[in-house]
Structure 1
Amino acid sequence: MKLRPIALALLGAALATGCAHPDRSRDLGNPNVTAVTLAQQVCSNCHGLTGNSVSPNFPNLAGQMPAYLVEQLRGFRSHGRQDPAGFEYMWGLSRSLTDAQIDGLAAYYAGQPATPLPPEGGASRVAAGKAIFHDGLPAQNVPACIACHGENGQGNAGFPRLAGQHADYTAKQLLVFQRTDERPEGAVMKVVAHELTAENIRNVAAYVQALGSP
């Protein structure tokens, strides 16, 4: 009977060794680690297990357009996307990703259901944002957002889903487009955002977050 605890310990060690598997690894330089494992064991630290992030510092990825996600991940990997909130985290995380892993990550997040966020900013702000989103601002030469992002903000191929995105994140990205060249793939958005006022940005960001909310 005295040998039983020792035997159990040895058995546990053997089982632990036998369970070693690339799919349980966090090694970002290992091309054999699957995209699902990367999403659930690495990316989840910021974006949540299903791509529904809790912190508005990190974008929601659930239900996102796969083509858009592929473009962004490749942009981070090549250092083409340079906005500080992105490259501080994503340059290092993406540098060794293979094309197959990037495609798999995009497919994983595209297939996750988006969890609606509560409206933020009050009914009048959301209503003002809705007007911009659907009708644009003709006097400021700002086109309607639905032209590229869809009637319900669902996205369209290389144009991202905006519905349910954190208002703070959306506002920050609009400022990046408006004031910098840190997202060169978004040249169209630089033109669109150029004439937006700070109030316009807060309004449309509030509406985007409210899209799809109960």
Structure 2
Amino acid sequence: MCIVTLMGCTSSNEQTSQDASAMSGVAMVDQICSLCHGLTGESASPMFPKLAGQQKEYLKLQLGDFKRHLRSDTSGAQYMRGFDHLTETQITELADYFSRQSPMKADADSADARGESIYGNGIPESGVARCGSCHGAGGEGNGRIPRVAGQHAEYAIRQIKVLQQTDQRPRDDSMKSSNHSLSEADTESVARYMATLGAKP
């Protein structure tokens, strides 16, 4: 989340972080979050996840985890300074705002047959479950389970690798066994396929 542009990526001091706690969620989107994630949550750079149309409950949980420094993988840790001062009201307002945006746009050019097979069928012989069994056939997610349809492939690859290599996402324990069985090539394939979900035929 790009509160970091003001409070993490720059040399802003502790007082600046505290001052931001008085902002409304909408003001934070306009002045802070949009700088990395885009005003409607359609981030242009795969360094930052698309948030448009993301599940509200999932966003609230992740913002809460950032606030409590529970998402401390290397890439996330770079952008976490200042989240300590997020209020519950801001978390709710931010999650509500981004969840109400039009769902993230798909990348119609990254079709991947292997990824489609893994997403829809899993890899039974390796113990990899069907991605769609939790994330939905269309990648829409549900409640605490994130929308993956249209997400940047590069971002999805990084997150899958985090789940493979660390115990720093306690909410995602159910993903760990499946992810450990994914090869790097399969990880890239399924991420590319998820990026196409939601594309118009």
TM-score band w.r.t. shorter chain: 0.7 to 0.9
Check whether the contact 2:104–2:151 (CA below 8 A) recurs between aligned residues: no
Candidates 134, 149, 157, aligned match of 2:120: 134
Deviation at residue 180 of structure 1 after TM alignment: 1.4
Check whether the contact 1:177–1:190 (CA below 8 A) recurs between aligned residues: yes
In the aligned structure 2, how far is the partner of 1:61 from the partner of 1:148?
19
Q: Corresponding residue for 1:105?
A: 94
Deviation at residue 151 of structure 1 after TM alignment: 1.2
TM-score with structure 2 setting the length: 0.87
Candidates 74, 90, 100, aligned match of 1:84: 74
Give the AA of the match of 2:88.
Answer: D
Deviation at residue 188 of structure 1 after TM alignment: 1.1
Query: In the TM superposition, what are the counterparts of 1:112-127 in structure 2 within 5 Å?
Result: 112-121=101-110, 123=111, 126-127=112-113
Structure 1 residue runs without a partner (length 5+): 1-26
Deviation at residue 117 of structure 1 after TM alignment: 3.4
Deviation at residue 119 of structure 1 after TM alignment: 3.3
Q: Corresponding residue for 1:144?
A: 130
Check whether the contact 2:67–2:84 (CA below 8 A) recurs between aligned residues: yes
In the aligned structure 2, how far is the partner of 1:140 from the partner of 1:103?
39
Check whether the contact 1:119–1:206 (CA below 8 A) recurs between aligned residues: no
Deviation at residue 116 of structure 1 after TM alignment: 1.7
Deviation at residue 120 of structure 1 after TM alignment: 4.6
Q: Corresponding residue for 1:211?
A: 197
In the aligned structure 1, how far is the partner of 2:17 from the partner of 2:70?
20
Deviation at residue 41 of structure 1 after TM alignment: 1.0
Deviations 1:123-167 (A, max 9, x none): 4xx121111111111010111011111110000110000000000
In the aligned structure 1, how far is the partner of 2:170 from the partner of 2:45?
26
Secondary structure of the corresponding residue to residue 70 of structure 1: helix
**Which has the higher Rg, Structure 1 or Structure 2?**
1
Secondary structure of the corresponding residue to residue 95 of structure 1: helix
Deviation at residue 174 of structure 1 after TM alignment: 0.5
Q: Alignment RMSD, CA only?
A: 1.4
Candidates 41, 58, 66, aligned match of 1:51: 41
TM-score with structure 1 setting the length: 0.82
> Are residues 93 and 48 of structure 1, via their aligned partners in 2, closer, same or farther at CA, if it must alter by over 3 Å?
farther
Deviations 1:82-103 (A, max 9, x none): 11211211x2141101011001
In the aligned structure 2, how far is the partner of 1:115 from the partner of 1:147?
20
Check whether the contact 1:163–1:212 (CA below 8 A) recurs between aligned residues: yes
Deviation at residue 115 of structure 1 after TM alignment: 4.1
Deviant stretches of 4+, over 6 Å:
none
Query: In the TM superposition, what are the counterparts of 1:23-38 in structure 2 within 5 Å?
Result: 28-30=17-19, 31-38=21-28
Q: Corresponding residue for 2:156?
A: 170
Establish whether residue 74 from structure 1 lines up as the match of residue 60 from structure 2.
no
In the aligned structure 1, how far is the partner of 2:24 from the partner of 2:92?
11
Q: Corresponding residue for 1:153?
A: 139
Q: Corresponding residue for 1:11?
A: none
In the aligned structure 2, how far is the partner of 1:49 from the partner of 1:207?
25
Check whether the contact 1:61–1:110 (CA below 8 A) recurs between aligned residues: yes
